[in-house]
Structure 1
Amino acid sequence: MRHTSAQAPSVVDRVLAVLGAFSPDRPALSLSDLSRRAGLPLSTTHRIVGELARRGALERQEDGRYRVGLWLWEVASLSPRGMGLREAAMPFLEDLYEATHENVQLAVLDAPEVVYVERISGRNAVSIMSRAGGRLAAHATGVGLVLLAHAPVDVQEQVLAGPLKTYTPKTIDTADELRRVLADVRRDGFVVSDRQVEMVSLSVAAPVYGPEDSVVAAISIVVPVRGVEPRTLVPAVRAAARGISRNLGAPRALSGGVLVPSCGG
């Protein structure tokens, strides 16, 4: 994360650059790695890392490398789009998993990506790229398409302006196609995302509504392409989404009526 601005980065910028140096494929980093990946002088990195380690935000391993510390997890658990959402959703995610023994996911939007709040996966479920705490491009995932379809217009336009990252030959890669799919999601109240991230799997996703009757999250089930008729999974996924919405206090779910797709965006 090199700082190219003419203005010198603030202390907060530097701290966030150090924390942002960690990634799923690089969960443990040496001081020199952190300096290089954060784009900061080694002396500055040493000082920041020392402070973060003293607060428990980073932990030093026996080999001298650093990992994200438990204190950051404690802070992250306070996010209203994190643990509270997860606690409301878990009974329904578990029921959906027990009924299918396939991958079940809960995600929120951080455009142009989705962040996976939870994932339940069985030993024999199809292998997928997502993980709890991980990110994928929103336009390429079932949960992302649901969330984008109900996002504010300016957020949609930001994503539509691209570029649209491609994972497979089936990934949506044009603004026109994405607009059409988002309109279909709003009309249908669910989406089948077919082989957009990996050629061996597809997902069925539906929206989760919050207390203001706005879409706050999405759930999906990811199954192998072969041997499964995705539309047979739609009722179960939508029922789980309704249950979570009810737990979150969504009026449309509490009323017992049909979860009619919103017309916004």
Structure 2
Amino acid sequence: MTSAFDVPLRDDRAAVDKAISLLVALGDRTNAGAGVSELARRSRLSKSTAHRVLGMLERNGVVERVGTGYRLGERLHDLGRAVYAPGSETARDLLLPYLADLYETTRETVHLSVLHGSFVVYLAKLYGHRSGPVPSRIGGRA
């Protein structure tokens, strides 16, 4: 006879919930990447489920393999750019010469950004020579 403790707990989360929990776990790791075991633990999924969902995300370009681990993929960046700065490619291309002029005049780090709700989203950045490092990145929010 089996008891309730012998039956594995069923994870009733939908596939999209599982995928998002893995993406969030990967997002915390930046470019370093993470292995299946770590991602499964951080997203509270079984290792086999994490492996299966990561495979689906990889096939769709949302995550990519790095050695034996995974990291966020380029397609996710493209999707994020479309959300936070619609039309930003054209605006960036039109405004980049002015950004370069500002950089030439000041020799300081200059940013091109747009307001999205209550956040600023960085579209371009030119690094200055005289100032210290500025903790911002293209596509980042402040």
- TM norm structure 1: 0.41
Q: Pick from 39, 53, 60 the counterpart of residue 58 of structure 2.
A: 53
* Structure 2 residues without counterparts, runs of 5 or longer: 1-11
In the TM superposition, residue 40 of structure 1 has moved relative to its aligned partner by 2.9
Q: Check 1:65–1:71 CA distance in 2 against 1; reply closer, same or farther (3 A cut).
A: same
* Structure 1 residues without counterparts, runs of 5 or longer: 1-7, 137-265
CA distance in 1, matches of 2:88, 2:13: 29
Higher-helix-fraction structure: 2
The 5-angstrom pairing of residues 19-168 of structure 1 reads 19-23=23-27, 26-27=30-31, 28-62=33-67, 64-79=68-83, 80=86, 82-110=88-116, 113-136=119-142
In the TM superposition, residue 46 of structure 1 has moved relative to its aligned partner by 1.1
In the TM superposition, residue 48 of structure 1 has moved relative to its aligned partner by 1.1
Q: Check 1:135–1:78 CA distance in 2 against 1; reply closer, same or farther (3 A cut).
A: closer
CA contact (8 A) 2:27 2:72 kept: no
In the TM superposition, residue 121 of structure 1 has moved relative to its aligned partner by 0.9
State the identity %: 36
1:65 partner letter: G
CA distance in 2, matches of 1:122, 1:53: 37
Moved more, 113-122 or 42-51: 113-122
CA deviation profile, 1:209-244 (whole Å, cap 9, x unmatched): xxxxxxxxxxxxxxxxxxxxxxxxxxxxxxxxxxxx
CA contact (8 A) 1:76 1:82 kept: no
Count residues with an aligned counterpart. Answer: 128
- TM norm structure 2: 0.69
CA distance in 2, matches of 1:108, 1:39: 36
CA deviation profile, 1:159-208 (whole Å, cap 9, x unmatched): xxxxxxxxxxxxxxxxxxxxxxxxxxxxxxxxxxxxxxxxxxxxxxxxxx
Q: Does 1:17 align with 2:32?
A: no
